[in-house]
Structure 1
Amino acid sequence: MARILAIDYGGKRCGIAVTDESKIIASGLTTVDTKELLIWLKEYVAKEEVELFVVGEPKRMHGEASESEKLIQPFLVKLSKEFPSIPVKRIDERFTSKIAFNTMLASGISKKRRRDKALVDQISATIILQDYLYNL
């Protein structure tokens, strides 16, 4: 069975999360340098069957697109060209970084580890994927 893969796209790095094959559990997988993301995705898709990409959609408080969306749009074009048979869904990612940080606090992760922005991105991708699964 295929997995769903979520991406918290950022200017420097991207958090990645995936479901289990039953599409019940969302788990943080890794963080990838943005410049290497398409290469990483090609390698992952060659090993694992992916049926859907879920990409965070950054919005401002009033619902309009944030400045980050300008970075994401060219990536989405490349993603669709590279993987034409895998659809892409967008999920509102407002507050995911804040929720990720609060999750790290609640789980007792050390202050030093909480400063690891890569971990925040990975947890944010997991939250994006959980939101998608919840709203199925």
Structure 2
Amino acid sequence: MNPSQIEVDEVRAASDQLYDALEALLNGDAGPMAEIWSHEDDVTTMTELGGREKGWDAISGSMEEVASACSDGTATRKDQLIRVTGDLAYELCTESLSATLAGESITWEHRATNIYRKENGEWKIVHQHADLDAELAEKVANMGA
């Protein structure tokens, strides 16, 4: 196995950890996300709900809010592509997600890009981007209203 394949396999393992953590989030537990995300101020998200978040404090707070409203969740990915260059890597995939959110069962699918950075010998996610889903964003905004 050449070094680049080893790094791809390491990023794939980090991705597995990310999607396990995402499924835990959709089941009410945001804790595992803290293990795979970088805690630096430069981390960012642009999720299917719209908007942008910057910094670990903002991102983790948002994750806690989502987790507190979710249960019965699943998270899977397909069409995964991973590229590694030095201490940065990116992953392209299609995510399929489902959860009970504020008492309502919802499912959605979108394309996603995850960017990882090697920090202290470990691959951590530093950016997550998903296609905007206006219908989902509206449904979430109107829940509990």
TM-score tier after normalising by the smaller chain length: 0.3 to 0.5
Higher helix share: 1
TM-score, length basis structure 1: 0.32
* TM-score of the two chains, using structure 2 as the length reference: 0.31
Report the structure, 1 or 2, having the larger strand content.
Answer: 2
Relative contact order: is structure 1 or structure 2 higher (C-alpha 8 Å, sep ≥ 6)? 1
